[in-house]
């Protein structure tokens, strides 16, 4: 926000006048934030699911942007909102992404680990490539604005980052299956990391300085970004766990010190990865997951409560701000015809790409799961439907404006903003109806959310005694993969948890089962 005061576009007025104008701009933003929170609260209280909180924020942004557009007397209103992406990348995005990792309830996540990883890694790869190819074909056939192939793949990667906020908050309100919830949540969290890594890889391939463009180098670059950032994040997370385990800060009057240190670690992880030229976002995401799973339990009780509330608060503010900004941006944008076509066909194509992701991955997962744990078709449909786009796609599109020349980045940015706004409004507004139509809400179901944590225990580390032995080699490999994720759960319980936390794993389990399931992960980020 500080950028507002020193942006060159303000050169018209005197410094004092500028500063005052910037003050009024920020004031307006704060008022829109307050309005969003209050409106979201009123709508939720009246169980009006057609306009979730994110949509409300978007609409407020749209309306204020529209008003600013009409009353063109004050031309500088556009500039007030024109924050630099540095502000976005340093202050708004890290808390949102950290919270998405931090709010993840480890248990259902790990019990569906294999499926989530399949959807997030393999599925996002499919979705990106399919979108990229289809957009390229669309360009070739003059249906859409024509982009070079690598840029199509970049667009495919960035638009494949899904956002769970709105859908998940409705899942919670209505109460849905805990495994479906874990799938949607886990997939949308991890696919951010995948989408960023793919985007960065393609961006490196595109750059004029890149030497070889063969497939091998691309794969190495992708692994460098993904595995490097993940290791940095996990490393920082484990370091924090050991620090809090042995520093003995969990006495009550050191709460402030404990919280200060706890709050600094995610940002440290972010900056460490950026300093190494890796992805800070991917790093902070994994730091969030590790810190929730290990470090968190080493905190004193009051600090645990504080840390949860703190990250929830910060990310709510950042997220609401991003949605308001997106609405404002789309209202101020001057839309050309080519953009309209691009937006329309993109929405169509990402629907197809998401279908390719969800249904093929579900097929693979179902091949390996025992019959009682297969992902039912209605869950697959719900998963397909919940692929709305949010802050992450917006962030990467913002990045692409700088990465791509000749207005291509601008096209991608405009299209992405429009897609985010439309999917949030349309999908967000109809999720309740969809869930009811698919009959995945309420009583009739096996494991309604929040009551099945106990039942969920049975899922952990399931043993497959080869009860459905098929000779198929591919299937065998899938099973091995599945077993490795199962053994990860066992390793976590037997080695990682005792090493990094002060609790034995039994204690841990006990704690979590006693804990209010509506707190933490299951509340998502409303």
Binding site residues, a copy of itself, CB under 8 A:
1-3, 5-6, 16, 19-20, 23-24, 26-27, 30-31, 33-34, 37-38, 41, 84, 86-87, 90-91, 253-257, 259-261, 263-264, 267-268, 271-272, 274-277, 280, 302, 305-306, 309-310, 312-313, 316-317, 518, 526
DSSP assignment of 163-220, as one string?
--HHHHHHHHHH-BBHHHHHHHHHHHHHHHHHHHHHHHHHHHHHSTT----SHHHHHH
CB of residue 327 to a copy of itself, shortest distance in Å: 18
Place of tokens 């708004």: 92
CB of residue 316 to a copy of itself, shortest distance in Å: 6
CB of residue 207 to a copy of itself, shortest distance in Å: 10
DSSP state of 336: -
CB of residue 351 to a copy of itself, shortest distance in Å: 33
Q: Closest CB to a copy of itself among 91 and 464? A: 91
Q: Which of 136, 176, 198 is nearest to 385 (CA)?
A: 176
Q: Closest CB to a copy of itself among 23 and 370? A: 23
**Residues counted in the chain:** 526
Rg, C-alpha atoms of the chain:
23
Place of tokens 């990467």: 396
Q: How far apart are CA 526 and CA 519, in angstroms?
A: 12
Q: How far apart are CA 170 and CA 431, in angstroms?
A: 7
Q: Which of 164, 181, 192 is nearest to 525 (CA)?
A: 164
CB of residue 445 to a copy of itself, shortest distance in Å: 23
CB of residue 264 to a copy of itself, shortest distance in Å: 6
Tokens of 433: 């109806």
Across-strand partners of 162?
389
Helical packing angle, 165-174 and 408-437, nearest 10°: 10
Q: Which of 306, 269, 274, 308 is nearest to 287 (CA)?
A: 269
Burial class (CB in 10 A: 0-12, 13-18, 19+), 401: middle
Q: Closest CB to a copy of itself among 39 and 496? A: 39
CB of residue 27 to a copy of itself, shortest distance in Å: 4
What is each CA distance from 107 to 178, 199, 265, 493, 498, in whole angstroms?
10, 30, 23, 11, 16
Q: Closest CB to a copy of itself among 263 and 434? A: 263
CB of residue 184 to a copy of itself, shortest distance in Å: 21
Q: Closest CB to a copy of itself among 10 and 482? A: 10
Q: Closest CB to a copy of itself among 2 and 480? A: 2
Q: Closest CB to a copy of itself among 309 and 491? A: 309
Q: Closest CB to a copy of itself among 146 and 523? A: 523
Q: Which of 434, 455, 319 is nearest to 387 (CA)?
A: 434
Place of tokens 């495994």: 179
Separation of first and last alpha carbons in the chain: 24
Three-class secondary structure of residue 495 per DSSP: helix
Q: How far apart are CA 93 and CA 515, in angstroms?
A: 29
CB of residue 436 to a copy of itself, shortest distance in Å: 23
CB of residue 42 to a copy of itself, shortest distance in Å: 10
């Amino acid at each position: 926000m500080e950028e507002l005061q020193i942006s060159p576009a303000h050169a018209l007025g005197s410094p004092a006048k500028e500063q005052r104008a910037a003050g009024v701009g920020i004031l307006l933003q704060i008022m829109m934030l307050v309005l969003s929170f209050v409106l979201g609260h009123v709508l939720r209280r009246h169980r009006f699911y057609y306009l979730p909180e994110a949509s409300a924020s978007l609409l407020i942004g749209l309306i204020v942007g529209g008003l600013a557009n009409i009353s063109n007397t004050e031309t500088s209103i556009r500039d007030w909102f024109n924050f630099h992406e540095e502000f976005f990348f340093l202050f708004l995005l890290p808390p949102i992404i950290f919270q998405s990792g931090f709010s993840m309830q480890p248990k259902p996540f790990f019990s569906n680990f294999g499926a989530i990883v399949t959807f997030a890694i393999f599925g996002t790869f499919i979705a990106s490539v399919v979108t990229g190819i289809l957009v390229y074909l669309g360009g070739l056939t003059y249906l859409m604005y024509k982009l070079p192939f690598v840029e199509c793949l970049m667009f495919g990667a960035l638009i494949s980052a899904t956002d769970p906020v709105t859908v998940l908050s409705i899942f919670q309100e209505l109460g849905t299956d805990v495994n479906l919830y874990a799938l949607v949540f886990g997939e949308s969290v991890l696919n951010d990391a995948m989408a960023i890594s793919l985007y960065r890889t393609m961006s490196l391939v595109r750059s004029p300085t890149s030497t070889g463009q063969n497939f091998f180098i691309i794969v190495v670059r992708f692994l460098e970004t993904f595995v490097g950032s993940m290791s940095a994040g996990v490393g920082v997370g484990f370091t924090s766990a050991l620090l809090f385990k042995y520093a003995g800060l969990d006495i009550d009057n050191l709460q402030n010190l404990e919280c200060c240190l706890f709050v600094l670690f995610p940002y440290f992880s972010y900056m460490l990865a950026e300093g190494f030229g890796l992805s800070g976002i991917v790093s902070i995401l994994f730091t969030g997951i590790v810190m929730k799973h290990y470090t968190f339990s080493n905190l004193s009780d009051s600090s645990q409560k504080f840390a949860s509330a703190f990250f929830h608060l910060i990310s709510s503010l950042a997220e609401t701000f991003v949605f308001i900004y997106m609405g404002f941006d789309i209202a101020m944008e001057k839309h050309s015809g080519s953009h309209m076509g691009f937006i329309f066909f993109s929405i169509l194509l990402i629907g197809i790409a998401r279908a390719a992701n969800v249904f093929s991955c579900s097929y693979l997962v179902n091949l390996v799961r025992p019959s009682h744990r297969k992902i039912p078709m209605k869950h697959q449909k719900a998963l397909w439907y919940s692929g709305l786009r949010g802050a992450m796609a917006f962030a990467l599109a913002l990045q692409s404006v700088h990465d791509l020349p000749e207005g291509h980045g601008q096209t991608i940015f405009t299209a992405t903003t429009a897609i985010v706004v439309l999917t949030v409004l349309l999908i967000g507004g109809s999720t309740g109806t969809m869930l009811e139509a698919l009959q995945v809400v309420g009583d009739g179901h096996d494991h309604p959310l929040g009551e099945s944590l106990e039942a969920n225990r049975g899922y952990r580390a399931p043993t497959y005694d080869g009860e459905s032995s098929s000779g198929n080699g591919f299937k065998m490999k899938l099973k091995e993969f599945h077993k490795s994720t199962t053994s990860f759960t066992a390793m976590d319980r037997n080695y990682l948890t005792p090493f990094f936390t002060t609790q034995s794993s039994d204690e841990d389990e006990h704690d979590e089962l006693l804990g209010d399931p509506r707190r933490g992960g299951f509340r998502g980020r409303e």
